[in-house]
Amino acid sequence: MQRKITIKTITLLLCLVSFASFGKNDDAAKGDKKSEIKEYIQHHLKDSYDFSLFSFTNDAGEHKYIGAPLPVILWDNGLKVFSSSKFHHGETLAEVDGEYYKLYHSKIYKTDAQGTINYDEEHHPTNVKPLDFSITKSVVMIIITGLLMFFLFKGLAKSYATNGGIAKGFGRFFEPIVLYIRDDIAIPNIGEKKYMKYMPFLLTVFFFIWFLNIFGLTPLGVNVTGNIAVTASLAILTFLLTNLTGTSDYWKHIFDPLGDSMPWYAKVPLYIILIPIEVLGIFIKPFSLLIRLYANMQAGHIVLMSLIGLMFIFKSWLGSPLSFGLAFAISLIEILVALLQAYIFTMLSALYFGFAAETHDHAEEHDGEIQHL
């Protein structure tokens, strides 16, 4: 009994010490710190025109960035190519061939020599935005991931050719994953006759998403799969492959879902409802792919960065270690989520390809299996 009271007393004292340490901070300082953390998280989630590893404020109050500038490529009455260092992280204007450009909320606008930004009634910038083909940090990571995959699997293919079908080196780790995608994802969902033509895409999209997710958890902190433009591009590729390779039975199922099960005059009222739903499903499937991947990776980064930010808000020997422990636990979960999201995207893509490649005989066999169950 005395031991329980002692534990409760110690716990209460620790909580009081923690809150006392938190209460010593000035309210204005806490507000500034919270705003700074919020801006840092937003900056981390957004793409940028420079590859910044980290930043700090020196004794003179100057904000220093450690990283490398990237090339800015614009089309504005001709091609404009210059280094992103001209923007100095959005603090200065970039003058190119007598034209002035300003980096404002991660977008480039054309301005005058004073850098004036004009707004409409809803406070949206009305300045001209030139066509932007710049190499951002997300593009850099996509290129790096593409090159990594190319050399990695080129080496795996070469080891197969020179060692009689036996992988060596890093290929021994990736070979079981390739076989799993073939035997447990592609063949069961698409079928043994047609799975091979979809395998290059399934393998590419799995490792592409997985590697980018892992890179996002490294100190590089590049949140590529948390960019909705990237996930939308991957989903559009799945959408195009599904519908461009769809068989006549696939399209018949969409526009004639009831088949010959009843006379045409009885089907017309039902088709007024069924056909729009089937057509809408064509677009809902890829939309669910892009939202699932985007939302999960974006949310994971927000939670992780928020927990790390709590350490700088609490500034106590109890609150900070607790925030660090939670952040470490979330990081371990995110490693699993990185692999899981690549698996889910690949599995659903294979499932959609299976619907598109389905033939009449396979459909009847599938219906028979359902009735048997």
pLDDT at position 325: 83
> pLDDT per residue over 164-190, tens digit each?
777 777 778 888 999 999 999 999 999
pLDDT at position 18: 37
Q: Alpha-carbon distance 321 to 335, whole Å? A: 21
pLDDT at position 204: 95
Write the DSSP string, 186-253.
IHHHH-TTTGGGTHHHHHHHHHHHHHHHHHHTSTT---STT-HHHHHHHHHHHHHHHHHS--HHHHHH
> pLDDT per residue over 265-304, tens digit each?
677 777 888 888 989 999 999 999 999 999 988 888 888 8
Residues forming beta bridges with residue 26, ordered by sequence position: none
Is 51 strand, coil or helix? strand
Output the six-digit token pair for 180.
């799993």
Write the DSSP string, 7-31.
HHHHHHHHHHHHHHHHHTS-HHHHH
pLDDT at position 31: 53
Q: The sheet that has 71-75: what strands, in order across it?
A: 79-83, 71-75, 131-132
Whose CA is closest to 41, among 295, 228, 306? Answer: 306
Output the six-digit token pair for 350.
């294979």
pTM of the model: 0.81
Going from N- to C-terminal start, the domains of the chain cover 55-135, 138-372
Query: Which has more confidence, 364 or 284?
Result: 284
257 touches 282 (CB < 8 A): no
Q: How large is the average pLDDT for residues 211-216?
A: 91
Query: Which has more confidence, 105 or 340?
Result: 340
Query: Which has more confidence, 318 or 123?
Result: 123
pLDDT at position 339: 93
> pLDDT per residue over 79-136, tens digit each?
999 988 888 877 888 888 888 999 888 889 999 888 889 888 888 888 889 999 999 9
